[in-house]
Amino acid sequence: MIWSIAWRNVWRNKVRSIVMIVAISLGLVAGVFSMAFMQGTVDARIESATKSELAHLQIHAPHFSENKETSFYISNASELVNKIEGLDSVKAVCQRLIAEPFITAAHGTGGGKLVGVDIEKEKNVTDIWQHVIKGTYLEKTSRMPPVLIGEKLTKKLKLKVGSKINVQMVDLTGDLSAKGYRVCGIYKTTNTSFDGTNLFVRFQDLQTQLGIEKDAAHEIAIVLDKGDEAPLIKPTIVKIAGKNEVKTWKELSPEIAMLADSMSEYMYIFILIILLGLCFGIINTMLMAVLERTKEIGMLMAVGMNKRRIFGMIILESVLLTFIGGFFGILFGAAITKYFETTPIDMSMFSAGLSKMGFATQIYTSLRADTLVTISILVIITGLLSAIYPARKALKLNPAEATRTD
């Protein structure tokens, strides 16, 4: 009986109820889409960081991460790579040499991070080869060893495909080593900071220039089948790595880790702000409904309806109103989000700012099932809380006075 009375009361003033339902729906559409957009932005940044820059796990010799000294290297790199490749959860492994040279070109000088890679294995660990916009990857052979350079660095040094650069560094004996490289290709990722500092050469070319032993490496990069399992796989890698240091991508890039970990909190704060605004709208609507029915509520009390039922009826009206608006808001929000999961949102007008922080300009939304469930629960709670004040207002009515109200 209470359900049927509450349902009829919701539709007594159809215009007011429809306006409130539309307001709740639009608010939740905006909330659901915004959460999915923010989650998609973060997911794209994490994917870019793990695929192009960091991989899921990295192994270094003790103290190498602190000062990048070329003398701190892993001496049994090939053995470690073979053992790690045998793990079921590991997708690909690649060893690298790393140096921080001084670079001179015809039109400028600069520094950077020179990375020596195994061409074929590196393709399975990072997707830099897919970001080549001019020239070719490191497969091209010539008299002078090839180097792959980021677009931002080529603009700084005024380089193009075929340009020559001179790379100077201190080798393992402490002597200054200089070597010429020819630009074979130019790459461009979503992170201009990465493009402005990282150069890639063949492993054997950097090995020769550094004078480092054959089975040595400064870094071993590991890609897993499931990136979110990195903390779970790390203990197994630590046992294999021995005295060497093992770090997940979150430990290698704390700023991205903080962004990923705090994003869910930011999103829920955002949706709570929207629901708080809707809460005041619902309170206003329900309070008007109660004041308009003062005489009716007084008569119900006079004929014997107890206060608990009156309270329950008004709470139920608010919940029904909120549930209808919430249902359509979440439904349409999820539908719009689903569309943009396959159709990218073009943010190229903000490309200069986004690329400095490593964010992509083509954003795909990402909405998780648990997010929808949480929003649905919050909507119901909002309806319940919004009805408490109007319901308490109704309970304070004096039946005798209320029945005499015009």
DSSP string, 341-353: TTSPEE-GGGHHH
Please tell me the predicted confidence (pLDDT) of residue 34: 87
- 329, 239: one domain: no
Please tell me the predicted confidence (pLDDT) of residue 181: 94
**Is 375 within a domain?**
yes
- 234, 267: one domain: no
- 39, 187: one domain: no
**One-letter amino acid of 10:** V
Distance CA 359, CA 362 (A): 9
Please identify, among 243, 276, 295, the residue that sits at the C-terminal boundary of a domain.
Answer: 243
Cβ-count burial 42-59 (b if 16+ within 10 Å, e if not): bbbbbebbbbbbbbbbbb
Read off φ and ψ for residue 265, nearest 5 degrees: -65, -45
Domain containing 207 equals 62-243
The tally of CA atoms less than 13 A away on the side-chain side of residue 254 is: 0
- 372, 272: one domain: yes
- 82, 178: one domain: yes
**Is 250 within a domain?**
no
The DSSP bridge pattern shows strands 245-248 and 146-150 to be unpaired
How does pLDDT run along the chain (406 residues), one tens digit per residue? 677 777 777 788 788 888 888 988 998 898 889 888 888 888 888 888 888 888 999 999 998 988 888 889 998 899 999 999 999 899 999 999 999 999 999 888 888 899 999 999 999 999 999 999 999 999 877 788 999 999 999 999 999 999 999 999 988 888 889 999 999 999 999 888 899 999 999 999 999 999 998 889 999 999 999 888 899 999 999 999 999 999 999 899 888 888 777 777 787 888 888 888 888 888 888 888 777 777 777 676 677 677 778 778 888 888 888 889 889 999 999 999 999 998 988 887 777 777 777 777 788 998 888 888 888 888 888 888 888 888 777 766 655 555 555 5
- 14, 155: one domain: no
**Is 248 within a domain?**
no
- 270, 352: one domain: yes
- 303, 194: one domain: no
CB of 399 closer than 8 Å to CB of 302: yes
- 215, 301: one domain: no
**Is 91 within a domain?**
yes
**Is 304 within a domain?**
yes
Please identify, among 243, 272, 288, the residue that sits at the C-terminal boundary of a domain.
Answer: 243
**Is 251 within a domain?**
no
Q: Where are the alpha helices (DSSP H) in 203-243?
A: 203-210, 230-241
Please tell me the predicted confidence (pLDDT) of residue 9: 75
Distance CA 217, CA 281 (A): 63
Please identify, among 209, 243, 277, the residue that sits at the C-terminal boundary of a domain.
Answer: 243
Question: How many domains is the chain built from?
Answer: 2
- 67, 203: one domain: yes
**Is 365 within a domain?**
yes
- 108, 237: one domain: yes
Other Cβ atoms less than 10 A from the Cβ of 107: the count is 10
Distance CA 278, CA 53 (A): 43
- 224, 347: one domain: no
**Is 133 within a domain?**
yes
Please tell me the predicted confidence (pLDDT) of residue 383: 83
